[in-house]
Chains A and B, each alone.
Chain A
């Protein structure tokens, strides 16, 4: 019998439909894989009993002749999505033990479509990070190794989701992306990650990091898998005022492999100083693949790109400083107080003990940029630049159908590297942040290996709510790159 964990989501879906195996068998195989890879620390909470229950119910449902779009498919859920009755931590000590009484809209959509939850995937604390080292529950280890064999970061913040998919511990996983948290770990772990247009998926029930940027999306083995899963996650939700009241197209139907005559933009501003040769080459190779497939490659300019990272690190912490005010030790989560303490004492002790260093750093940055006398110089100016960045894209999309860039400036780095230098760490997001600020869909597709044998991804950025084009071009890129490398031990 084939190893069921090596299937793609689409293959597993079709196999289930044909009756080649059951959801219970698929789920058991993945639970076994989770046992075998516990050293990667990809999950904060494993939910094997719930998974088996859901799998059995799914098989029963299928037997009765009704099957949803994700029927019986076991997935990992980033531990930023509130899941009813299952601990939801956001990888923070402050939420340890918190079991929501509600199910996030996205997971509710997925489960409604038949998906099976294997567990809650690890992440950077409150999704703040690019290495998954800020998790209170320990860092995640990338299933890929470089030639020295040392442990590498999976990227972040959706590092647990990316590692789980790359190591076949889940057929697919949900991620969230605020400045690159789906795309960058996808690139580091050699999988596909799609950040949809802001407003495509409901944010209701997702622990908020930066409300104007946060967006849920699929992390999968293939572009087709991403199309299938996004179709199940997306949709208008009246409970989220920023969710777009537009219909969900059949994303899978967009995968025609035909991009002849399509125009692909190459933004010169992304060719940053000191870009590693192998990243540059990866990009050039990608351009050639799309050209060979019949697309026209066009140079475009996104002049405000250089301000994107600075803008992001004002807007995101500002919103975070306010979004995280609710973790005060009063109603849920950790409370630290001693006899005779005042309310302020309780706040300070609970938050000092509950939040890790990176979260505290961003709360402080955010509080600072919003404070009286600094608001106009920082936050207000950042909003203006953000508008310009959006206009840059708007201009470019007047000429092209999609934009191709590298996903990240490097391959996965060693755990512990960059830890002492937050700014260097933030540079990991340099190519992903602009699309986040503009609210545009961005897809990372693995297209090559670094000299160290590590996966590297290219990013496709599309027009608002045009995930279909992004997926179509991504499918072509995927086919041309024929990226078949797997982490050691996962070879097919």
Chain B
């Protein structure tokens, strides 16, 4: 379903392109040997290069290049075997060189694609325009002193991948799905940890509105939004603002805006006239970045199975629905968990347990999969106990509750609590005989043709056995005794 905003003069469609900055996972910075460790004391991860001391020169970190290529491959994108680092010139206190080393007209990665998994199980393809490598800036802190700003250069020079989408996104939900999928891909690849709250993934959103079917409108760029939820909110709020401006007879000015999540509004930050002239030019301190096919194919060999491939495999091999498979592959840890549970077992049953029971319980407890009290091995054992008739499905739910609380082994729980299913015919017969003896009138009703009453007897017998009797056997024995 297409997403349409109703204005006072008719329907509006929104057009969104996202620019996502992903901090590259690497030991050291893009052009220096300084550590990239997060959370160290201010200005301790700073080399002479990062502080832009006179005469210092950048040397590209091959690991960051590998990570960018790997990400490009994960985005099914064109890898440019020759790319060029360019200087983006502007003055700011947290930019010691007075320029950011980035890539301009020759990025390391060209066009690619991301497949979005929408909540209704459908998919949508969004184009990637490019991925380029660049240096992060330092951090300005304006709340440390009443008169001065403080600068922390720990982040200065850390490698970022800027991943730019085509303007293919048409709703806040799609934007959310895009970020979720991109995050999943970089996490699967191990090229970025995707933690938006730590700033290792940051998003700028280009938003415009148009009448359905018409050409693109003027866009505004919302800078530096730091959660998926806020990106979705900001897009909707900005689109509504633009509609209001246009319908009020105004025009959208191309500008940079900030999203204030507290006030739920976007605010102008910098107009087009005030925009910087970055004076990009090839960085003469660095040679063009050139590598060969062998370099790329080495990296290709290291590629893990990515979410889309995993999803397809789950559907093909385990018979899962697109929706279930999509939920499971959204996070690599979830997919890994599921695979352990499903190994050698009924894949669909495993998916049900993982998605409905486990994820349900984890969500309720606000706990991530990594901290699940129930291990995948134990959940698998629980499913085995059902499959081999040791316990019934109903008892299994009780056992699962205990596992969530205690993290215990289901076999031990069943053992200790005496929850083993009764499959001994004699014991079940005894229970049946007692129920029949106590209810001769109801027996007659069944014999008179009221078949439905049989279910009542099953219930009584189960109650009498504490739920432990095998329901199939109870059913069969009851039929035999009453109807034959």
List A residues at the B interface (Cβ < 8 Å).
Answer: 81-82, 88, 90, 95, 98, 100-102, 104, 203-208, 210-212, 238-242, 318-319, 321-322, 324-326, 328, 330-332, 343-344, 347, 367, 370-372, 375, 379
Contact = CB atoms under 8 A, between A and B. Distances in A.
Nearest to B60: A241
Given A241-B285, A331-B96, A326 B52 contact: yes
B279 A371 contact: yes
Nearest to A319: B284
Interface of B: 48, 51-60, 87, 89, 91-93, 96-99, 149, 151, 277, 279-281, 283-287
A81 B55 CA distance: 8
B54 A322 contact: no
B91 A371 contact: no
29 contacts: A81-B55, A82-B55, A100-B54, A203-B57, A204-B57, A207-B54, A211-B285, A239-B57, A241-B57, A241-B58, A241-B59, A241-B60, A242-B284, A319-B281, A319-B284, A321-B279, A325-B98, A326-B52, A326-B98, A331-B53, A332-B53, A343-B149, A370-B281, A371-B277, A371-B279, A372-B277, A375-B279, A375-B280, A379-B281
Q: Would you list the 10 A-B pairs with minimal beta carbon distance, nearest first?
A: A325-B98, A212-B284, A211-B284, A370-B279, A326-B52, A205-B55, A207-B54, A82-B55, A372-B277, A211-B285
Given A203-B55, A204-B55, A347-B91, A326 B96 contact: yes
Given A241-B58, A325-B98, A100 B53 contact: yes
Contacts of B284: 210-212, 242, 319
Contacts of B54: 82, 88, 90, 95, 98, 100, 207-208, 326, 332
B87 A322 contact: yes
Contacts of A372: 277, 279
A325 B55 contact: no
Given A82-B54, A331-B52, A242 B281 contact: no
A102 to B, nearest CB: 6
Contacts of B57: 203-204, 239-241
B285 A242 contact: yes
A298 B421 CA distance: 105
B89 A370 contact: yes
Nearest to B282: A383
A330 B92 CA distance: 10
Given A241-B58, A322-B87, A370-B281, 7 more contacts: A102-B53, A210-B284, A212-B284, A242-B284, A325-B99, A328-B98, A375-B281
A375 B86 CA distance: 14
Contacts of B58: 241
B114 to A, nearest CB: 31
A279 B279 CA distance: 41
Given A82-B54, A102-B53, A205-B55, A325 B281 contact: no
A207 B60 contact: no
Contact of B55 (A207, A318, A370): A207
A90 B59 CA distance: 24
Contacts of A100: 53-55
B290 to A, nearest CB: 12
A299 to B, nearest CB: 34
Nearest to A81: B55
Contacts of B280: 370, 375
B52 A322 contact: no
A279 B176 CA distance: 73
Given A204-B56, A205-B55, A207-B55, A318 B281 contact: yes
A95 B287 CA distance: 28
A102 B91 contact: no
A239 B281 CA distance: 22
A437 to B, nearest CB: 13
- Residue of B56, B92, B96 ringed by the most chain A CB atoms within 10 A: B56
A104 B53 CA distance: 12
Nearest to B94: A330
A331 B95 CA distance: 11
B63 to A, nearest CB: 15
- Residue of A207, A324, A330 ringed by the most chain B CB atoms within 10 A: A330
A367 B58 CA distance: 22
B98 A322 contact: yes
- Residue of A326, A344, A371 ringed by the most chain B CB atoms within 10 A: A326
B89 A322 contact: yes
A344 B58 CA distance: 27
B92 to A, nearest CB: 8
Contacts of A102: 48, 53
A207 B54 CA distance: 5
A206 B87 CA distance: 20
A177 B363 CA distance: 67
Contacts of B279: 321-322, 367, 370-372, 375
A81 B284 CA distance: 19
Given A325-B97, A326-B98, A241 B55 contact: no
A375 B59 CA distance: 26
A325 B53 contact: no
B53 A330 contact: no
B93 A343 contact: yes
A325 to B, nearest CB: 2
